[in-house]
Structure 1
Amino acid sequence: MPFAWFWFSVAAIILLTAVCSSDVVVRGRYRRVGADDEAELEIRALYGLIRRRSVVKAFDWSWSGTEFLVKRGQQGVAHIDRDDVERFFRNTRVALRLTFHLTDVVKRLTARMRLTEWEWHTVIGLRDAFWTAMLTGAAWSLQAGLTGFLSHRLRLCAKPVLRVEPLFGSSVFKTNLTFTARIRAGLLLLAGLSMFGRILRVRGGIEGWVKLLTKPDKAEPQRT
């Protein structure tokens, strides 16, 4: 019997090591051609055994009165009103209050994330050459600025590929952004354990997080 437990322990250690050594891969792509959009986000874990992919096509953003409309082609229209925005920020403040120095966990985790792909190609064209040049410079500044910001937050493991091409004499706008980020599953596990310990350091942290995660999305109307 002790011999069987020995091999069971060895197998458990090997399995845990393999899981912690695996990468959680996040790959995203956003493309806009004229007024058409397409976004894709894929998450893979455990050597591809766990895979989640989400695709949104032909969505448009517009503000109507006090409501934010997210149109997703044939998938319907999602409404985000002012209450939804306020609820998001309110829940964020509550999460920060219920966790001891939550921002430290986030900063340390993002610092361990590896950006292995970052490609951004934009084509801009207006019939006016002056405004084409102006918008081309603005687009280049935006791409370079965002890339520089990410380089200070993540570990760049591949050279970023940035291109902005002016197309004089034509009215066109195309942009295509592709990125791949990786992080060890073991680091996510350690971050989860660290976050749990930080929640325990706050009085009422566990009860507060349970209420935060289980309460309904929409607030109930107040009774008069």
Structure 2
Amino acid sequence: MGAWFGWLGIILVPLLLLAAIAAVPVRARAQLSRHEGDDNLSLQVKTLFGLLKFNWEIPMMKLGGKGLQVEELARADSPSLLHTESDVKKDIGPSRIAELLQDAWKLLRRTENLTGLVRRLLNKVEISRWTWRTTIGAGDAVWTAMATGAAWSLQTTALGLLSQLCRLNAQPQMEVRPDYRAARLETSFDCIAEIRLGNAILAGLQLLVRMMRTEGGVRLWQNILFKA
């Protein structure tokens, strides 16, 4: 009897440990702000109770002669050995945007049911914060009113699309304020999303299988993602 319980413990303990790890949430927070001409975009992802963290930031975005000039900062941290950091500057023009769209369409067309996989993954995502506040002015009362309506339509459409794809567990906070005194555009966006680590790992394995079945295989994905 004692040996039987011993073998039962050997089997159950790893299973319980895997189940506990699968239930751990992966938390992602996206923030976008534009204030007095300064644009900032950041994404923070953490899991395993903060043991694994990743931060991606665009602290500088400005329009230049060749298009949008972007400075990217990426950092991965953990209390153990993992610590990487990179600083990249890019120029994103119309040709670069067209190239990215073409690459995305290539992956979508060649990968088996990629949209279905993404939709099933998004159905597991829970939104615990959705805050979006915008102040807009066009320097003219009529144009400001039209711009305000367009901005409000954009925000409500984005929220409606999100609620169809994900689980919205938070009370959305949205606001669009017109400024009839001057031409300006300021916005502040903050979103927190969570997914169970087990669901994310399962989706990753399913994607890997589809990548291997794709014409060009994993190398095609590597070439496109590294080029991006």
User: What TM bracket, shorter-length normalisation?
Assistant: 0.7 to 0.9
Tell me what 1:210 maps to. Answer: 218
State the one-letter code of the partner of 1:158: A
Tell me the distance in 1 between the aligned counterparts of 2:180 and 2:108.
Answer: 49
| Kept after mapping to 2: 8 A contact 1:120/1:177 | yes
Tell me the distance in 2 between the aligned counterparts of 1:55 and 1:6.
Answer: 48
Structure 1: gaps spanning 5 or more residues: 219-224
> For 2:179, which of 156, 164, 167 is the aligned residue?
167
> For 2:136, which of 115, 124, 134 is the aligned residue?
124
Q: Mean Cα displacement is larger for which, 146-155 or 71-80?
A: 71-80
Deviation (angstroms), 1:18:
1.2
Rate the CA distance shift 1:59–1:5 in 2: closer, same or farther, 3 A: farther
Deviation (angstroms), 1:33:
1.2
Q: CA-atom RMSD, angstroms?
A: 3.0
Identical counterparts, % of pairs: 32
Tell me what 1:193 maps to. Answer: 205
Tell me what 1:222 maps to. Answer: none
Deviation (angstroms), 1:129:
2.5
Tell me the distance in 2 between the aligned counterparts of 1:5 and 1:44.
Answer: 35
State the one-letter code of the partner of 1:143: Q
Deviation (angstroms), 1:93:
4.4
Rate the CA distance shift 1:170–1:24 in 2: closer, same or farther, 3 A: same
Rate the CA distance shift 1:172–1:210 in 2: closer, same or farther, 3 A: closer
Deviation (angstroms), 1:215:
4.1
TM-score (norm 2): 0.77
Tell me the distance in 2 between the aligned counterparts of 1:142 and 1:72.
Answer: 26
Rate the CA distance shift 1:154–1:169 in 2: closer, same or farther, 3 A: same
State the one-letter code of the partner of 1:163: E
Structure 2: gaps spanning 5 or more residues: 74-86
TM-score (norm 1): 0.78
Tell me what 1:184 maps to. Answer: 196
State the one-letter code of the partner of 2:104: T
State the one-letter code of the partner of 2:202: L
Tell me what 1:33 maps to. Answer: 35
Tell me what 1:12 maps to. Answer: 14
Equivalent position SS for 1:24: strand
From the two aligned structures, give the one with the greater strand fraction.
Answer: 2
2:151 matches 1:139: yes
